[in-house]
Amino acid sequence: MAQESGDLASDCQFWLQKLSGWDQACTLETQQDTCLHLPRFQEFLRQIYEALKEADPTTIMERFPTIRQLLTKTCQNPFILAYDAACHVALLWSWLLLSLHLTGPVCHTCYTKLKEPSICRDESQKIVIWCLCSLINKEPQSSAESRLNSWVRGLLLHILSAFRFDVKEVGPFTQCLGYEPADYYPGLLKNMVASLVSELREDHLNGSNTQRRMAPERLMSLSRICVPLVTLPDCQPLVEALLTYHGQGPQEVLWPELFEAINEAFLLKKISLPVAAVTSLWLRHLPSLERAVLCLFEKLVSSERHRLREIECFVKDSLLPQAACHPAVFRIVDEMFRCALLETDGAPEVLAALQLRFAFKAYFPHAPASLATVLSQLPEGLPQGCWLQRLQLISQQLREAVENQPQGSRGGPLRTWFLLAHFGGWADVAAEQLLRSDMDPPAALLWFLAFYHGPQEGAQQRARIMVQAEAVLRRLRELSGSARLSARDLQALGESSPGDPRSPACTQLIRQLLLTFLLWAPRGHTVVREATAFMAPTHDVTQEVIGFLDQTLYRWDQLGTGASGPGALARALLQELRAQV
């Protein structure tokens, strides 16, 4: 608490200096600075309130010696106590008229009144009132405490009674134009925004005609004015027009803080923008794109486990897949996903998001073109009878790409695996093909799964995984045709013996084979719950099984297959496991 109080006391000095500079609120510069800093100032007032409500009134002045001066100046500043949409509109009028030299039907006397915002008890007023009420001592024990109470009551009366909007002074002016006061202000704003949007779009049509284009200085000024106004609905057409406007020179013509403000409002769902505008935003301001991807990662790897349908919604709402149709955006997003997979040790949520909507058919500059092409045609685009042939082709090209890489090459097998991770649904299909086929297990499919589960394993370790997986497959086929099947039989297959230890990659691969067997083999249905309990003794393994079932059901829904028996069993089992964790 002492450290927090010290920080707040230091912040008090900063904002006290700001408030002193804002005393001349009638100038354009102070109005602009006030509006730009008000969100931060509101947050500071909230922190002050949290500290005040927990403090003993007798010690408040010792911790915050400048609090009275700060609150007094706050209550005397109309722009702070009127920080709402109406204030935004008034500021927009004054800034546009003064900075952009636009003309309009506003005489000097009425314009002076129009610069003053419509006053109401908004968020700033509420927080200030909370702070003042926290300073009141209900049972004052000294004259100093009584004087403090008197001072607080005076400011409260000032806030609650002093600010009013007198329509009589502007009524005659607006009525002579055929407007009621309540209709004039938004109407004027819409007309000004429409005029600016039209001018910006006309600039695009003018092309290289520099004499008719908006000057870069004017564009910079306009974009700076719009920073605090991006969430105002009437200003959205202007925001979109600015985002899709490009100057003729190499230098950015818009104020950098505008991109940050728009991106933050978009991520917080305070505004809705078309894909073209969002793509332009991220292309022109790389930090905004990085922030959008990081926000998606935060949702994916939160403490709460998300289902694939929820992950799909997160990815879709982010607009990243749509924007990533642009090659430059795609490569940046794809690289961030690659880093995220490495940093999170292959977090299933990140991997699922990559496979759900980032499986694009181009823009893989470091991958063999033939491999990217063959992977990009997903199982749902092919007849089931062609799946085995396609998997063997994929495995062959993957193996060539991995084994033909020079020793110590940048990225190594992980780069090839990351390409495969975009199309990870093929791994599930490979496991099903191995278990549902009557032929001997194809070596190509065994290598494919061994690489998918252990991309960093060497050739010798991968060959050992293939041998161990093949032995499990042959035993599963024997059990499938036996008269009796017990969960203990499957438990024994899932455990490694002291004489034949398994690597983590091999253990994960065999667990996938066992789960696939339980879903597809008719005899597996009779022991599925008991066998799953043996296979998932820990929380982490249970989550892995839940992820497998969720992904399998999602893929079956996409394929329009999944047979009623296996599908119903998988859904019931998934529901039961989720209830346990």
CA distance 177 to 5: 54
Q: Which two tokens stand for residue 386?
A: 């062609």
**Cβ(441)–Cβ(470) below 8 Å:** yes
User: pLDDT tens across 415-467, in order?
Assistant: 888 888 888 889 989 999 998 877 788 899 999 999 999 998 888 999 999 99
Helix (H) or strand (E) holding 379: none
User: pLDDT tens across 203-259, in order?
Assistant: 655 554 444 567 788 888 888 878 877 888 888 899 999 998 876 667 888 888 899
Mean pLDDT of the 293-311 span: 81
Give the bridge partners for 497, in sequence order.
Answer: 500
Mean pLDDT of the 291-303 span: 85
| Residue 334, CA atoms < 13 Å, CB-side half-sphere | 24
What pLDDT sits at residue 343? 84
Other beta carbons within 10 Å of 89: 21
Task: Say which residues have a Cβ less than 8 Å from residue 426's Cβ, sequence separation at least 6.
Answer: 375, 378, 379, 391, 394, 420, 448
Backbone angles phi, psi at 108, to 5 degrees: -65, -45
Give the residue with greater pLDDT, 564 vs 517.
517
pTM: 0.57
CA distance 388 to 374: 13
Give the residue with greater pLDDT, 121 vs 327.
327
497: DSSP letter: B
Task: Say which residues have a Cβ less than 8 Å from residue 402's Cβ, sequence separation at least 6.
Answer: 413, 416, 451
Q: Which two tokens stand for residue 86?
A: 């109406």
455: DSSP letter: T
Mean pLDDT of the 163-190 span: 52
Domains in the chain: boundaries: 2-84+120-165, 396-580
Mean pLDDT of the 103-127 span: 41
Neighbour-count burial for 383-422, b at 16+ CB within 10 Å, e otherwise: eeeebbebbbebbebbbebbeeeeeeeeeebebbbbbbbb
Tell whether the model's pLDDT for residue 166 goes beyond 60: no
Residue recorded with tokens 């982010």: 318
What pLDDT sits at residue 188? 64
Q: Which two tokens stand for residue 400?
A: 């060539």
Backbone angles phi, psi at 121, to 5 degrees: -85, 90
**Cβ(446)–Cβ(402) below 8 Å:** no
Q: Which two tokens stand for residue 340?
A: 């995220």
Residue recorded with tokens 């329509």: 167
Mean pLDDT of the 188-211 span: 70
Q: Which band of pLDDT confidence, cut at 50, 70 and 90, is reported for residue 107?
A: very low
Other beta carbons within 10 Å of 74: 24
What pLDDT sits at residue 264? 92
What pLDDT sits at residue 102? 36
